[in-house]
Amino acid sequence: MGDPDIELLRAIAGGDHLAFKGLVERYQSRLLNFLFRYLRDRQAAEDLTQEVFLKVYQAAPRFEPRARVRTWIFTIAYNLAVNELRRRWRRRLFRLLVPEDPEIEAPEAGNRLELEETMAESLRLLPHNQRAALLLRVRDELSYQEIAEILGVSRASVESLLFRARDRLRRLLRNRGAR
């Protein structure tokens, strides 16, 4: 049994706008639902749904049917959602650290990604317990008490771990800026 969407994709590759409209109608609500449940953000899910269809339209002429079209479309959606969550995580970490330290200049648009990547690299340099506490707090939004239970330490220890982790990251960022 063949994939009926392959014919739609071939028509789209040939410039058939009605075929594209048909593909959008076929998958739009399912993609939006998936992305909303994954991201928990309606606006981002709507934006990424549009981006998925843009990528499908642009890639249609190069599509090679190694998998079902549906699988390919949802793979695009999943990858975009994962990238969105990574961007959000980097932005949150950036906002947690940078506004607290006037010595770290707000990056220009081009330098922001570099700084975010530096921060991600710096995270890997933290001792494992500091890194775990910071990630549980920033990325997973857990309370100090929840983090204490997970790490098997006191609430005061969590406060100390978070303070030391943030301080170390700020110093690493300052040193990076001095280069």
pLDDT one-digit tens code per residue, 87-118:
887 777 766 665 555 555 545 545 666 766 77
Q: Quickly state the pLDDT bin for 2 (edges 50, 70, 90).
A: confident
Q: How much is the pLDDT for 110?
A: 53
pLDDT higher than threshold 70 for residue 80: yes
Q: How much is the pLDDT for 157?
A: 96
- Maximal C-alpha separation, the chain: 64
| Entry pTM | 0.61
Q: How much is the pLDDT for 42?
A: 96
Instruction: Please give the residue that has the higher pLDDT: either 165 or 140.
Output: 165
Three-state SS for the chain is CCCHHHHHHHHHHCCCHHHHHHHHHHHHHHHHHHHHHHHCCHHHHHHHHHHHHHHHHHHHHHCCCCCCHHHHHHHHHHHHHHHHHHHHHHHHHHHHHHHHCCCCCCCCHHHHHHHHHHHHHHHHHCCHHHHHHHHHHHCCCCCHHHHHHHHCCCHHHHHHHHHHHHHHHHHHHHHHHHC
**Rounded mean pLDDT, 59-85:** 91
Closest CA to 13 of 51, 58, 53: 58
pLDDT higher than threshold 80 for residue 48: yes
Cα 130 from chain centroid? 22
Task: Quote the Cα angle for 129-134-139, to 5°.
Answer: 130
pLDDT higher than threshold 50 for residue 178: no
- Give the highest mean pLDDT range of 23-32, 96-105, 134-143: 23-32
Residue 27: how many CB atoms within 10 A of its CB?
Answer: 21
Q: How much is the pLDDT for 47?
A: 97
**Rounded mean pLDDT, 11-34:** 96
Q: How much is the pLDDT for 3?
A: 86
**Domains of the chain and CATH, by start:** 4-85 (1.10.1740.10), 101-178 (1.10.10.10)
